[in-house]
Amino acid sequence: MDNSAQIRVAATKLFALRGYEGVSLQAIADVVGVAKQTLLYHYPSKESLRRAVLNNVFEHWRRTLPAILQAVTSGKRRFSALTDELVRFFSSDRDRARLLARELLDNPEDMQRLIGENLRPWLLLLAEYIREGQKVGSIRADVDPESYVLHVILLVVANVANLSTLSMSLDTSGAASDAIERRHLKELARLARSALFVR
């Protein structure tokens, strides 16, 4: 991995942890072990580094999208697998979810464009599948297809981004934190599933 990629990876982690404004170029350079000016050689400004980080996250998304779509449209589990696949994608690297949750708040204009380009076509396609399910009676008639899909995605992003904080608040006994996290994500999947299908 060359320095350019190392810088991007370090920036992703730090931006996800402390936010764009909370991270100095010097802090990123220190982690990588280069001078701050080396960083500015690869990325001419802090803002260009932000965009590289964000583009990289959506690039992962585009590469993973086909697998997620396939899980939803083929086989017998169909839509039940949607939430599982989303949870898998974001859980495999929680910084992705944290970064997106932050950028939604910090950078709504850029995110609106990126959502429009990377999420919207897929969201409309899933909504169409839901409408078909409603016609044949397998999916509840009162579901708002586009809105439902958006809620499930936001719920997954928000939960994964804040999973350790939330699971602490859930703990009643002294259960292992990853067991509580699994329990919470399981209820997420149940919630999404049972709000969609006719019993």
**Residue 38 interacts with DNA (CB under 7 A)?**
yes
- 5-40 in b/e burial notation, b at 16+ Cβ within 10 A? ebbbbbbbbbbbeeebeebebeebbebbebeeeebe
DSSP state of 3: H
**Residue 174 interacts with DNA (CB under 7 A)?**
no
Between CA 157 and CA 98 the distance in angstroms is 8
Task: Select from 2, 76, 165, 169 the one that contacts DNA (CB under 7 A).
Answer: 2
Contacts of its own copies in 52-91 (CB under 8 A): none
Q: Single out the residue of 109, 89, 111 nearest to residue 159, CA to CA.
A: 89
CB of 19 to its own copies, least distance (A): 6
186 binds, among DNA, its own copies, none (CB under 5 to 8 A by kind): its own copies
Task: Select from 175, 176, 179, 195 the one that contacts its own copies (CB under 8 A).
Answer: 195
Task: Select from 5, 17, 47, 77 the one that contacts DNA (CB under 7 A).
Answer: 47
Chain-centre distance for alpha carbon 56: 13
Task: Select from 27, 31, 65, 119 the one that contacts its own copies (CB under 8 A).
Answer: 119
Task: Select from 98, 129, 139, 160 the one that contacts its own copies (CB under 8 A).
Answer: 98
Q: Single out the residue of 195, 80, 77, 74 nearest to residue 144, CA to CA.
A: 195
69 binds, among its own copies, DNA, none (CB under 5 to 8 A by kind): none
Place of tokens 């994500």: 185
DSSP state of 139: B
Identity of residue 14: L
Q: What is the CA radius of gyration of the chain?
A: 19
119 binds, among DNA, its own copies, none (CB under 5 to 8 A by kind): its own copies
**Residue 142 interacts with DNA (CB under 7 A)?**
no
Q: How many helices (H) and strands (E) does the chain have?
A: 11, 0
173 binds, among DNA, its own copies, none (CB under 5 to 8 A by kind): none
Between CA 99 and CA 91 the distance in angstroms is 13
Binding site for its own copies (CB under 8 A): 18-22, 98, 101-102, 104-106, 108, 111-112, 115-116, 119-120, 123-124, 140, 142-144, 146-148, 150-151, 154-155, 157-159, 161-162, 164-166, 168-170, 172, 183-184, 186-188, 190-192, 194-195, 199
